[in-house]
């Protein structure tokens, strides 16, 4: 069984938080594809001699292929707005009919009539968790 972990990776705090989730899931015996670690950035940079247009094209292809192969998508939904790449991964996964779990520890909402997330995101999720512990204990149930 494969899990694709989506989430922002653009600063140290985001990467450290995602790494913690990856470690917890893998300690439960789950196979996790994490783009920061698994997309092949270093190898692609060497292969294409740092031609970043080609490298970035291949990273996108690798990540989309990993989503296709995944049995479950887990999306880390931090901040007042979900990061744009994570939103795209959720939308693509939803279009493929994948099971999608969200993790949102942020207590802000979009208002009482909408809830914690933009409805396009929230209605694409099979389940939204509000803590790491509940997500990790619940992830095996969804596979």
Task: Count the Cβ atoms, other than its own, within 10 Å of residue 66.
Answer: 20
CATH number at residue 68: 3.40.50.450
User: For residue 76, which of 99, 105, 53 has the smallest C-alpha distance?
Assistant: 105
Counted domains in the chain: 1
Domain that holds residue 118: 2-142
pLDDT tens profile 28-57: 999 999 999 999 989 999 999 999 999 999
Over 90: is that where the pLDDT of 21 sits?
yes
- Using only C-alpha atoms, the chain has a radius of gyration, in whole angstroms, of 15
pLDDT tens profile 81-138: 889 999 999 999 999 999 999 999 876 555 565 566 778 988 999 999 999 999 988 7
Give strand pairing partners of 5: 74
């Amino acid at each position: 069984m494969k899990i694709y972990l989506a989430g922002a990776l653009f600063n140290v705090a985001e990467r450290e938080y995602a790494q913690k989730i990856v470690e917890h899931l893998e300690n439960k015996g789950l196979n996790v594809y994490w783009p920061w670690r698994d997309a092949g950035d270093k190898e692609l940079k060497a292969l294409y001699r740092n031609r970043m247009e080609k490298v970035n094209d291949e990273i996108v292809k690798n990540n989309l292929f990993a989503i296709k192969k995944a049995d479950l998508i887990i999306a880390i939904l931090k901040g007042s707005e979900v990061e744009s790449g994570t939103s795209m991964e959720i939308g693509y996964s939803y279009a493929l009919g994948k099971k999608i779990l969200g993790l949102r520890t942020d207590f802000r909402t979009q208002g009482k009539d909408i809830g914690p997330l933009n409805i396009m995101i929230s209605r694409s999720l099979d389940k939204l968790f509000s803590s790491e512990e509940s997500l990790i204990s619940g992830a095996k149930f969804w596979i």
